[in-house]
Amino acid sequence: MVLAGKRILLIISGGIAAYKSLDLIRRLRERGATVRPIMTSGAQQFITPLAVGALAADYVFTDLFSRQDEQDVGHIRLARDCDLVLIAPATADLLAKMANGLADDLASTVLLATDRPVLAAPAMNPKMWANPATKRNIATLRGDGIRFVGPTSGEMAESKEAGTGRMAEPLEIVAAVEMRLDDGARPLAGRKAVVTSGPTYEPIDPVRYIANRSSGRQGHAIASALAALGADVTLVSGPVSIPDPMGVHVVHVERAEEMRDAVLCALPADIAVMVAAVADWRVASAADQKIKKHPGESIPTLALTENPDILKTVGHHTQRPKLVIGFAAETQDVEANAKAKLERKGADMIIANDVSPATGIMGGTRNSVKLIRHDGVEQWPDLEKDEVAARLATVIAEQFKPE
Ligand code: CTP
């Protein structure tokens, strides 16, 4: 009963989805939560404070400069006297205000003043959701630690337009509230992680490329394990045939340079785990057209050039995450090589594995690794890649335990 006794400050902003907030209040209260509503003036165009107040069995706050409200509670106390701030529906306008720190009404002022976890359920027209301005605002807010539930796709209430923009259903929002409040069991809640996974494909010409045998299983499992502990995870994945993990923001790339750009875009972050088997070299100048075979003439040679070392870049970056972890795929002198990599790449830990063909690790589901830190080496037993991921996530969480 995560919700029993929990105090939810519910901000209702002005969208047609506000009618679902009435049911949401009921669902939250039947699970034992107290709901204190704030309505924007837009929200009051769609549903009345009377209905909201009746369902919440509480006073509905609407004005920033209400003498009665200010004396009663005050917007600062309102912002703090709760376990969670829930915005449902969250309009494009309110999200834009939040992303920019505007505070020109009670809802936006409370959002700027709160030090509580904030969960938003966006609702808007699909074009508005897809607009680059909204996308920028959402990315900013995610970076600020705001969590989202929805929007989902389907037909819009106001038109026959379909697409992503519908507010999540009340029960989905309730589940997200429960998850957000259960963050005690999620020691990486509020932490941002970036994980790379899979191989990279380096083009030779439009139809051919250089690649390697990485399946992405280990990197994807790590992204998933970090998300399960509450981290906000961006997974930058090279081409793989396994599905995107749930609850993780996935950026698909092909080349090492694209992977580096996507990783740098995900900074600042608290944690970086670089698992991808990045191609060390790319073809110096990939051909624009398919290279043709000319019988009797010389066979083409490929001139290679070095790819950016993403782990090293992150390990020495001005926005270096607190914890930078790399992998070392070795076929010989595993420990010594991995230790050298730790220093060279500016990492805090290296997971070293023996990928000599006899082990069957590359492309397989099991992994036998050593965890190498500056002050010691731990040999882990032979584990499934999921288990290696869960164990690593726990090691990472220990680094973020409150003092
Ligand atoms: N790595 C990276 N960018 C590269 C190459 C490697 O981010 N261009 C990262 C990998 O994701 C991994 C670590 O560096 O975390 C080690 O990769 P590995 O291939 O073992 O090391 P290399 O630096 O390529 O060294 P070598 O091939 O000489 O062993």
Burial letters for 15-35: b for 16+ Cβ neighbours within 10 Å, e otherwise? bbbbebbbebbebbbeeebbb
- Write the residue with the smallest CA distance to atom 16 of ligand 1: 328
Q: Which of 213, 260, 327 to mutate to test the pocket of ligand 1 (most atoms within 8 A of CB)?
A: 327
**Structural domains present in the chain:** 7-185 (3.40.50.1950), 192-399 (3.40.50.10300)
Q: Given 125, 131, 212, 353, which residue is catalytic? A: 212
pLDDT over 60 at 243, yes or no:
yes
pLDDT tier for residue 143 given thresholds of 50, 70 and 90? confident
% of the chain residues with pLDDT over 90: 69
The answer to whether 35 and 53 are in contact (CB under 8 A) is: no
Q: How far apart are CA 89 and CA 149, in angstroms?
A: 10
182: tokens are 């259960």
Among 180, 118, 111, smallest CA distance to 146 is for: 118
Question: Each residue of 158-183: pLDDT tens digit?
Answer: 666 778 899 999 999 999 999 888 76
pLDDT over 90 at 347, yes or no:
yes
Question: Each residue of 274-328: pLDDT tens digit?
Answer: 999 999 999 999 999 999 988 888 888 999 999 999 999 999 999 999 999 999 9
% of the chain residues with pLDDT over 70: 93
- Write the residue with the smallest CA distance to atom 4 of ligand 1: 309
Coil, strand, or helix at residue 129? helix
Among 231, 229, 188, 117, smallest CA distance to 401 is for: 188
Tell me whether strands 369-373 and 209-210 are parallel, antiparallel or unpaired.
unpaired
Ligand 1, residues at Cβ distance < 6 Å: 196, 256, 274-276, 278, 280, 307, 309-311, 326-329, 341
| 131 assigned to active site | no
Q: Which residue has the tokens 């026959």?
A: 160
Ligand 1 atom at minimum distance from 276 CA = 11
Is 106 labeled as ligand-binding? no
Is 138 labeled as ligand-binding? no
Question: Each residue of 225-240: pLDDT tens digit?
Answer: 998 888 999 999 999 9
Of 74-83, 260-269, 329-338, the range with the lowest mean pLDDT is 74-83
- Looking at per-residue pLDDT, the higher value among 83 and 209 belongs to 209
pLDDT over 70 at 108, yes or no:
yes
What number of other Cβ atoms are within 10 A of residue 265's Cβ? Answer: 12
Q: Which of 311, 317, 332 to mutate to test the pocket of ligand 1 (most atoms within 8 A of CB)?
A: 311
Is 290 labeled as ligand-binding? yes
